[in-house]
Structure 1
Amino acid sequence: MAAEKTVLLYPCPALGHLNPMVQLAKALVRRGIAVTIAVADQPDKSPVVAGAIARVAAACPSVGVRLLPIPSSEDKKYSHPVMRILDALRLAKPALRELLRSLPAVDALVVDMFCIDELDVAAELAIPAYIFYPSAAGDLAVYLQVPYVSRSAPFAFKDMGHTALNFTGVPPVRALDMPDTMGDRESDVGRTRFHQCSQMPEARGVLVNSFEWFETRALKALRGGLCLPAGRSMPQIYCIGPLVDGGNTGENDERHECLEWLDGQPKQSVVFLCFGSKGSFPAAQLTEMAHGLENSGHRFLWAVRNPPPPDHRSNFTEVNLEALLPDGFLERTRGRGLVLKNWAPQSAALRHDAVGAFVTHCGWNSSLEAVMSGVPMICWPLYAEQRLNKVHLVEELKVGVVVEGYDEELVMADELEAKVRLVMESQKGEKLRERLAMAKEMAADAMKDSGSSDVAFAEFLNNLGTNTRQ
């Protein structure tokens, strides 16, 4: 009998990266792979990230979790918030090297898209290294081309506004829709991210959290070597998604009260607003949102956080809805609307038959959950790669519409009302629903035995025992 294969997973210590890596761990364990997750353990990490790390082991008891201690960087000044995370990964690199040396045998190291610099540790120890890309294949196609497209751009992306950037395999992308980490290639964070993008092809393979039917054009460009300059070869692409949360409803899997509320609503009648682990809005924007929802006349379920604090620290403090929302709003919408403080069981809510539209920040995990639930998206990107995801979701994949003004100071009430009505009432909204029904079916097919993602997973595992790049 063949010995059990062992894989070490190395996620970026941020919620949107930890969660999909846990889903990858579960998928590997189901296929008979021994899995250890190593996490850079920042002493000054946020309570949200600390809670996520604590839940990693509980989510899959058969997965080993190793925390890599690093010095505190709380007093260190960073030019961009992402640099704090990248610095933590840099400081954890010696501990990762020692962990890999201490384990009896490791068949592969799988690193997050932000952990590209760790590929050289794997090369030093002669361990096959792969990248887990937790976002869209379209994003990956763009990121691989960014170092080269930026060289021919007349200005830094941050200064090019609505100018369209052309990347192979995806629709044109306005410069202002590029991640802010890539806005200026001469900045600290820009130099780091552009270098990481240029190093991605050095991996033996890339596991992408998407599925073949959904992103055909981007995957064709990637596999055809069209996202790299002549002379550089593309590693194997394994499209293994959608890997998403299974829909737990809360602590101890107790059913959240909002699901009971949804039980009493007609099918596809509720607009669900939820903006990820960091999504929050200034008070003025919350007011516009409230007026837009009220004026739309539609039922809604809305997770509201406090406005972002000036120091960008956690805003998971007690939420005073009466103070944040317009006078009388909660009373006037009582019965047809439910507002939650801070958190909603997003996956479970999306799967509920009562939900007919999803106002989302376009995080890829959230987008995949919507697709697997067959729910059209009203796209309101906030940060990171979310604007880029919006381009794919709206213009390429045709599974959502966008609120105009997300890139300005305020999205006005009448704009949100108009997009809610479009999705919930119009013929275009019905076409979106039909498109999502097809996408939901194809996503499920991809994950079935012998589906495209199942086959890709099997190819990846078969290649773990070989010593040459495919």
Structure 2
Amino acid sequence: MGEDGNGGRLRVVVVPLPAQGHLNQLLHFSRVIAQRGATVSFVATSTHIHQVRSRVQGWDLHDFDIRFKELPMPHLSAGEPDAQSSHMFPLHLTPLFEAVEDQLGSHVDQLLRTVCSENNNRVVIVYDTIMGWIQSVATKYSIPAYAFRPTGAYYNLWVKQVSDETRGLSPVNISEKRCFPERLLKYSRRQRSMLGAVKGYIINTFSALESEFIQQGREEFVYGGKPVWTVGPLLPQTFFNVEQRSRSQADIECMRWLDTQPPASVLYVSFGSISSLSAAQIRELADGLERSGQLFLWVLRISDGAHFSTELQFDSTCRFLQQGYESRLEGRGFIARNWAPQLDILFHKSTGGFLTHCGWNSTVESISAGVGMLAWPLHTDQFANSALITRELKAGLQVKEWQNAEENEIVSAEEVEKAVKRLMRSEEGMQVRKRAQELKGEARKAVGDGGSSWKDVDSLLHHFSQSFSD
């Protein structure tokens, strides 16, 4: 796909939101289209390029034609996480998103002007839907633009129904206030209002996972009548093949611990890269895990900072644990420091369940690994994802009922203990884990030769090439 329909060189410019889950998805998307012959420019601040490059799993960055284009880090007066915030969403990230929009427009303009000149104006751009302001720059240079939705089709339906005030039909009975701080909600709505000129939407999902909701979204005009391509799961296909899979070297200590555990015996516990639990909640979770008697691997961390500076904050977070907790659980529980190689953990033979915040990356990765989930959503799309996992896919269980829950609701140790035992030891949990294994097979088919996502990537690349003849 190095040449477009008119024989000119075609470059795909990819612009993610500077948050780990968004960066990660679009980097994997870049790999997928580069593997098919596209030349890709991945555009982000130098800080966030370093962040996503240091955490990539399952493939070598040098194997694909991906060129990293660095933007300066915008000036921020703050940007560090507050583990004791009254809202579960990491409020310190919203000023970063706003600063990128306010301060980097001229830098993006200059970059696109240069890229167009170098590629004879044969350029298309793919940007995160929460970076809608990119559209005005793309329009200035007549660059065909495509919006990447980093959330699933089920959640996209919920957003549309809430905005249309059809809450009675909504798949999730949770208020926007619970999911979004007001400042983020205002920012997101502004970005979505700028998407009218996009050529179509790209989603990290696959047909067998969400076909019903993708079709319903088309019917309810969620995508504005534009084409939709489902290209997921966006993760290296080598993870589906035990013979080909090579483990990353990141945080190898926790992987060595996993190697010593029986098959499907360990509960993996992680709340993602941009979420923090309060001190009180950490103590309840720790107590519940201990009382459950379950083997577990817990990634204990606080949210990424706007400047990617949380790698040294593990010790302060661990102060929330009871004295002697780690030594008391030595051999039965492993607490990983900050970031851990999630794909390696999920695809490990010893991992039998996943206590998760239900971020879309984690959801898709757990399904792809065939690991049943224990749903503990915190904010944004996570409540909708938890409903998809538990109600629709039957691939997980809720830690508790969340309807109309308060923002700062604490999950008790008793609730944690009960939920862990349900997933890992009950007949109900066994059925959930069996269903997750079935979905793993569907995920593998989707990205394999001739699969639904494979075909959609081909269709998308053809659309890129044809966009210059419109």
TM tier relative to shorter chain: 0.7 to 0.9
Distance (whole Å) between structure 2 residues aligned to residue 227 and residue 283 of structure 1 = 39
Alpha-carbon separation, structure 2, partners of 1:457 and 1:424: 37
Report Cα offsets for 1:354-407 as digits up to 9, x if no partner.
111101111111111111111011111223322232222222222212222785
Tell whether the 8 Å contact from 2:15 to 2:128 is kept in structure 1 after alignment.
yes
1:54–1:98 distance in 2 versus 1, CA, 3 Å: farther
**Cα deviation per residue 1:258-289 (whole Å; 9 max; x = unaligned)?**
22222221111111111211333222222211
| Kept in 2: contact 1:133–1:208 (CA 8 A) | yes
2:96 equivalent in structure 1: 84
Name the residue aligned to 1:398. Answer: 394
Structure 2: unaligned runs, 5 residues or longer: 81-89, 240-244
Q: Which amino acid aligns with 1:244?
A: L
Match of 2:65? Answer: 62
Contact 1:177–1:388 (8 Å) recurs in 2: no
Q: CA deviation at 1:79?
A: 8.5
Instruction: Indicate which of 128, 144, 151 corresponds to 1:112.
Output: 128
AA aligned opposite 2:70: L
* Residue correspondence of structure 1 range 185-196 to structure 2 within 5 A: 189-196=184-191
Residues 155 and 385 in structure 2, CA contact (< 8 A), matched pair in contact too = yes
* Structure 1 residue aligned with 2:231: 240
Deviations 1:95-124 (A, max 9, x none): 212221212234311001211121122222
Sort the Cα spacing of 1:68 and 1:144 in 2 relative to 1 into closer, same or farther, 3 A: farther
What is residue 414 of structure 2 aligned with on the other side? 414
The aligned residue for residue 369 of structure 1 is 365
Displacement after TM superposition at 1:80 (Å)? 6.8
- Cα 1:455/1:63, change in 2 over 3 Å: same
Q: Among the aligned pairs, what percent are the same residue? A: 29
**Distance between the aligned counterparts of 2:423 and 2:469, measured in 1?**
46
Partners of 1:79 and 1:423 lie apart in 2 by: 32
Please say if residues 267 and 355 of structure 1, whose CA atoms lie closer than 8 Å, have aligned partners that are also in contact: yes
More deviation, 277-286/428-437: 277-286
1:465 CA drift (Å): 2.2
Letter of the structure 1 residue corresponding to residue 436 of structure 2 = L
2:172, 2:384 within 8 Å by CA — same for their partners in 1?
no
Output one character per residue of 1:326-354: Cα deviation in whole Å (capped at 9) or x when no partner. Answer: 23432332222222222322110111111
1:210 to 202, 205, 228: 205
1:113–1:227: structure 2 CA closer, same or farther, 3 Å change rule?
A: closer
Counterpart residue number, 1:346: 342
The TM-score with structure 1 as length reference comes to 0.83
Does structure 2 retain, via aligned residues, the 8 Å contact 1:275–1:360? yes
Contact 2:250 2:341 in 1 (8 A): no
**Aligned counterpart, 1:425:** 425
Q: Supply the distance in 1 between the matched residues of 2:267 and 2:76 (Cα, whole angstroms).
A: 41
RMSD: 3.3
Letter in 1 for 2:21: G
Which residue identity lines up with residue 13 of structure 2 in the other structure? L
Cα distance in 2 between the residues matched to 1:70 and 1:308: 15
TM score, norm. by length of structure 2? 0.83
1:21 shift after superposition: 0.9
Cα distance per residue 1:100-153 (max 9 Å; x no partner): 12122343110012111211222221111001112212222333454433xx7x
The number of residues matched between the two structures is 438
Task: Tell me the CA shift for residue 290 of structure 1.
Answer: 1.6
Paired AA for residue 343 in structure 2: S
Q: Name the structure, 1 or 2, with higher relative contact order (CA <8 Å, separation 6+).
A: 2
**Maintained 8 Å contact 2:205/2:230:** yes
* Structure 1 unpaired stretches of 5+: 153-163
